[in-house]
Amino acid sequence: MTKKYFITGGAGFIGSNFAADLLRKNREVTIFDNLSRSGSRHNIAWLRSQFGADSFRLIQGDVRDADALEKAVGNADVVAHFAAQVAVTTSVTNPREDFEINAAGTFNLLEAVRKSGRQPVVLYTSTNKVYGGMENVRVIEREEDYVYEDFPTGIAESQPLDFHSPYGCSKGTGDQYMRDYSRIYDIPTVVFRQSAIYGPRQFGMEDQGWVSWFIIAVLLKKPITIYGNGKQVRDLLFIDDLVRAYHAAIDAPETTAGQIFNIGGGPNNVISVWKEFGPILEELCGEKIPVNYSNWRPGDQVIYVSDIRKAERLLNWRPEVSVKEGITRLYHWAEENRNLFA
């Protein structure tokens, strides 16, 4: 029997890539999205052009609407909850909306699943921002980047939670609700605390999706501002590798139910956001890129690298796309589709 997938935020960057992979596998897909994000309508049009106008069901809805979710979830076998307010800066300027979408929206989804009387696998995309600034973690500053003094394999799931922004609070609330609904209601939820994800179909903006944003800004000759010193470090995970991890988690609910995974490129796929990323981008575009520098923003982490050993062990998964290869693939996709960003 064909599995039925229900994807909130399915028109976004991650959602559309996941939906495309499912459609290639002839799965039954329902996308629930309010189409408010930049690029969402382009992504829906792309899915239809690739797989056919009737290849999936689109419900234009909002996760803040509990009744709409209850009607839409139906008899799904898998629920992927990607719909979110995704920018720390936006959460600071409008914390109520951030809470209503990320915390209350996630609660609405879980209640819709509980009331359905079914027990679909529920996949939730959380964030490394639930760990806050990690001020107590010792860091060594080097010429081009930062490294952890005591965590050579990165930050593990045992790191204490410290919600250091409204965004961290709202995503962390959803994160913990997911875990508890597995314990209390026996719903097989799985939480991915994701690091920096990047790849095609990502319509990055200055406050979210920085890898994509820098590439788009260069192609469109827009100014780039680096907040901080440009040496801050992130582990990068290419979208294809993330989708593989989703399948591994969904296909093994007996192992993953109630579990939390830190998911990113891990220590083998790290880069500083400009000191190392900038030269790669200059090589790709063939010119020197001028940038401006500004103050650090609330909730910015000097370094974040995921310890992915739990995912490697339980999911039999590890990243396959290197940072250089992934950035090159994203650059060429953006270059070929620059009309989408104008």
Q: What's the DSSP call for residue 31? A: E
Tokens, residue 114 = 């509980």
Contacts 24+ apart (CB under 8 A), 331-334: 331/215, 331/281, 331/284, 331/285, 333/199, 333/200, 334/200, 334/212, 334/215, 334/216, 334/219
CA proximity to 110, closest of 184, 166, 56? 184
Instruction: Determine the pLDDT at residue 305.
Output: 98
Which band of pLDDT confidence, cut at 50, 70 and 90, is reported for residue 51?
very high
146-194 pLDDT, tens digit each: 999 999 999 999 999 998 889 889 999 999 999 999 999 999 999 999 9
The secondary structure element, H or E, covering residue 303 is strand 303-304
Cβ count within 10 A of residue 311: 25
What residue has token string 């989703």?
246
194-222 pLDDT, tens digit each: 999 999 999 988 778 999 999 999 999 99
From the options 3.40.50.720, 3.20.20.70, 3.40.190.10, 3.90.1010.10, give the CATH code of 4-340: 3.40.50.720
What is the Cα–Cα distance from 57 to 41, expressed in whole angstroms? 14
Span 50-76, average pLDDT = 96
What is the Cα–Cα distance from 241 to 122, expressed in whole angstroms? 19
Instruction: Determine the pLDDT at residue 187.
Output: 97
Whether residue 13 has pLDDT greater than 70: yes
What is the Cα–Cα distance from 31 to 119, expressed in whole angstroms? 19
Tokens, residue 203 = 């319509």
Q: Give the residues across from 81 on adjacent strands.
A: 8, 124
What is the Cα–Cα distance from 289 to 310, expressed in whole angstroms? 39
Whether residue 1 has pLDDT greater than 80: no
Measured in degrees and rounded to the nearest 5, phi and psi for residue 111 equal: -65, -40
Options 167, 177, 227, 304, the catalytic residue: 167
Residues contacting residue 273 through CB under 8 Å, at least 6 positions apart: 210, 226, 228, 230, 231, 232, 233, 234
Amino acid at 302: V
Whether residue 133 has pLDDT greater than 70: yes
Give the chain's mean pLDDT.
95
Is residue 167 part of the annotated active site? The answer reads yes
Span 38-59, average pLDDT = 96
Instruction: Determine the pLDDT at residue 299.
Output: 67
Instruction: Determine the pLDDT at residue 204.
Output: 87
Span 106-120, average pLDDT = 97
Whether residue 233 has pLDDT greater than 80: yes
Percent share of the chain, pLDDT over 70:
99
